[in-house]
A = this chain, B = another copy of it.
Amino acid sequence: MATTTPKLISDKNEMRNWSRSMRAQGKLIGFVPTMGFLHAGHLSLVSQARSLCDVVAVSIYVNPGQFAPSEDLSTYPSDFQGDLRKLAALPGGVDVVFHPHNLYDYGHNSGDVAGEGGGPAASCVDGDGSGHETWVRVEKLEVGLCGKSRPILFRGVATIVTKLFNIVEPDLAVFGKKDYQQLRVIQRMVRDLDFSIKVIGAEITRESDGLAMSSRNVHLSPEERKKALSINKSLLKAKSAAEDGEVHCEKLSNLVIQCIAEAGGRIDYAEIVDQNNLEKVEQIKGPVVFCIAAWFGKVRLIDNMEINLSIGV
C-alpha cells in the first residue's frame, strides 16, 4: 500500500476523507503524531505503526497549545524537508504526512457558532482571540512530574491529540515511552473518552552513548551533552541497585540526584512512581518507572527507566 513518497495533506477535511476512504477499503490505519525535527526515536514509532497497520499517517505539527508563553515554542527546532526525506527513506515509507498550518484557527463563521473568533492565531494560550476555549483535562495524571513545572503541558497535549484523533480517525496510534507521562495521559484519555483507538507505547531510542533521543538535544553544547549522559548512567545505576535489593525509593532517588548534580545538571524532579497511575512510591513493590527531568544549561531534558522487579506484592 505504502509508497516511498508520502502524500502531503494540510487540510483537515482532506485528511479525514483520506482516512475514511482507507477504512472503507478495510485498511487498518496507524498514526504517529509528532512535532517534527524527526530523529531515530520518532522513526522507530513510525516503523512500529508500519508493522502493525496497513497504512500509516504521520502528523508534523508544533502545538502552540502545550507551550506556556515563557517556554520554547519560538525556538523549537524544525526541518520539514529533512523530516520528509527521513520518512520517505523508511522501509515501506509512510502513506500520508499531515502538516496543518494552524489547528486553532477556525476562521470567521467556522463551526456552528458564528461570529466571534477567527483569524490566524500565533498561540492559542495568549488570549489572542482565536476563540479556542475547549480543553481536555486528565485531572490526576496531568498534575505530577512534568505537570508541576509545566502546568498547561498535558492540557495542551490531551487537547491536540483529541483534535488529531478526530481529524485522522486512526485505529492505532504509537507514542514513545520517552514521554512516559504523556503516554499515560493519552491512554487514560482514550479509555475515559471512549476513543476507539489502540494506543501503543514504544521503547525509548537512545544514542550509542545512552542519551535518550530528543529534538531538544540539538540545543546542547558539546560539553552540556557530555554532562547530560549522567541521566542515563545514573538511571542504570539505580535500576541495578534496585535489582540488587535496594527497594527504598528515597535512597535510589538520592543516588540519581547526586550523580546528576555532580555532573552539573539542575534537577527539576527525580521520582520513582507507579507505572500505571504515576503516583509516587516509597518502596518498590510492583512495576515502577524512575522519571527524571533536569536542566543542562538552557535545555530541559527528560528521561525515564522502567524497573520491573520480580517481587510479589
Contact = CB atoms under 8 A, between A and B. Distances in A.
Interface stretch (A81-89, A156-164, A236-244, A262-270): A156-164
Q: Give the size range of A's interface with the partner.
A: 35 or more
A194 B139 contact: no
Interface string A92-108: 00000000000100100
Give the number of times this chain occurs in the complex, counting copies: 2
B191 A106 contact: yes
Interface string A154-180: 000011001100110000000000000
A196 interface: yes
A106 B193 CA distance: 11
A140 interface: yes
A222 interface: no
A187 B24 CA distance: 28
A193 B65 CA distance: 12
A247 interface: no
Given A194-B163, A196-B16, A187 B136 contact: no
Nearest to A24: B24
A159 B193 contact: yes
Contacts of A195: 166
A112 interface: yes
A111 B191 contact: yes
B192 A133 contact: yes
Contacts of A192: 106, 111, 132-134, 163
Interface stretch (A44-52, A113-121, A209-217, A300-308): A113-121
A273 B78 CA distance: 44
Contact of A134 (B16, B133, B188): B188
A194 to B, nearest CB: 4
Contact of A115 (B114, B159, B276): B276
Contact of A111 (B106, B132, B190, B277): B190
Contact of A133 (B24, B138, B166, B196): B138
A204 interface: no
Contact of A139 (B134, B139, B140, B184): B134
15 contacts: A106-B192, A111-B188, A115-B276, A115-B277, A132-B192, A133-B140, A133-B141, A134-B138, A134-B189, A135-B136, A135-B137, A135-B139, A159-B193, A163-B192, A163-B194
Given A113-B184, A113-B191, 5 more contacts: A111-B192, A112-B191, A113-B188, A132-B192, A133-B192
Interface of A: 12, 16, 24, 103, 106, 110-116, 132-141, 158-159, 162-163, 166-167, 184, 187-196, 198-199, 201, 274, 276-277
User: 7 smallest A-B Cβ distances: which pairs?
Assistant: A111-B191, A134-B192, A112-B187, A115-B276, A166-B194, A163-B194, A133-B140
